[in-house]
Amino acid sequence: MHRYEIPALKIPTGRIEQLTDGIFAIAMTLLVLSIAVPTLQAPVTPAAFSAYVTSILPQIFVYVISFILLAVFWMNHHLFYIIKHSNTTLLWINILWLMSIAIVPFSTSIIGKYGGFQLAQLIFDLNMLIIGLLWYANCYYAWKKGFVAEKVLPYADHIRRSNLALPVLAIIAIMVSFISPAGSFLVFVLVPVIFTLYTVARRVRAHRSPDH
């Protein structure tokens, strides 16, 4: 198939990576707009200002977690995604994945402001589920088509397990939201924890079997 493609009309993969990096940097910085700085009703008393600061504490917590989640997705992208080739299908999966990344500042705003409602949590959980599924589709398709670099092949199992973590957590979060909306968000705090444990575990195993 590939030898019939018009070579001049191919998008170099470097450009897609650059667009990806740009969208991540912007989305991570736009998250800050999810913390509201309203014009308080004059005259502003110290008590009113303190009440406002207290009211944004959950928004700051949500900002921190969302920033870390995006950072994990970004790292995951660079750690596990080494493509030799690409095609139009893979490109479109990537575009849709970037679209679900770029909407994170919105879903973060929603739970920062209205996190007490189950519906708000479901919007965020759904956003994470879509990110997870598209990323899994991305890796699976690249794998099946043989676009992945050979040196990554021995780590197939690690990568498959790692990529299923996010969709599974999102489904758990959706189930938790029926019991406790706020608890639903806490499920995602596990993402950086799992990511770290996984990295440590990999390193420990490597120490034990140096001939591996």
Write out the binding residues for its own copies, residues 38-77 only, by CB under 8 A: 38-40, 44, 46, 49-50, 53, 63-64, 67-68, 71, 74-75
Which part of the chain contacts its own copies (CB under 8 A), choosing from 96-104, 139-147, 168-176, 182-190? 96-104
Which part of the chain contacts its own copies (CB under 8 A), choosing from 80-88, 132-140, 165-173, 183-191? 80-88
Spatial contact of 185 and 121, defined as CB atoms under 8 Å apart: yes
Angle at 188 between CA 139 and CA 111, to 5 degrees: 115
Q: Is 157 in the site for its own copies (CB under 8 A)?
A: no
Which residues lie below 8 Å from residue 131, measured CB to CB, with a gap of 6+? Answer: 73, 97, 100, 101, 104, 166
Q: Is 199 in the site for its own copies (CB under 8 A)?
A: yes
Which part of the chain contacts its own copies (CB under 8 A), choosing from 115-123, 135-143, 172-180, 183-191? 115-123
Q: Which of 32, 164, 175, 197: binder of its own copies (CB under 8 A)?
A: 32
Spatial contact of 125 and 177, defined as CB atoms under 8 Å apart: yes
Q: Is 80 in the site for its own copies (CB under 8 A)?
A: yes
Long-range Cβ contacts of 183-186 (<8 Å, 24+ apart): 184/118, 184/121, 184/124, 184/125, 185/62, 185/65, 185/111, 185/115, 185/121, 185/124
# of chain residues touching its own copies (CB under 8 A):
79
Cα–Cα dist 135/143, whole Å? 12
Residue (79 or 171) nearer to its own copies, CB: 79
Q: Is 128 in the site for its own copies (CB under 8 A)?
A: no
Q: Is 88 in the site for its own copies (CB under 8 A)?
A: yes
Cα–Cα dist 190/188, whole Å? 5
Q: Is 161 in the site for its own copies (CB under 8 A)?
A: no
Q: Is 102 in the site for its own copies (CB under 8 A)?
A: yes
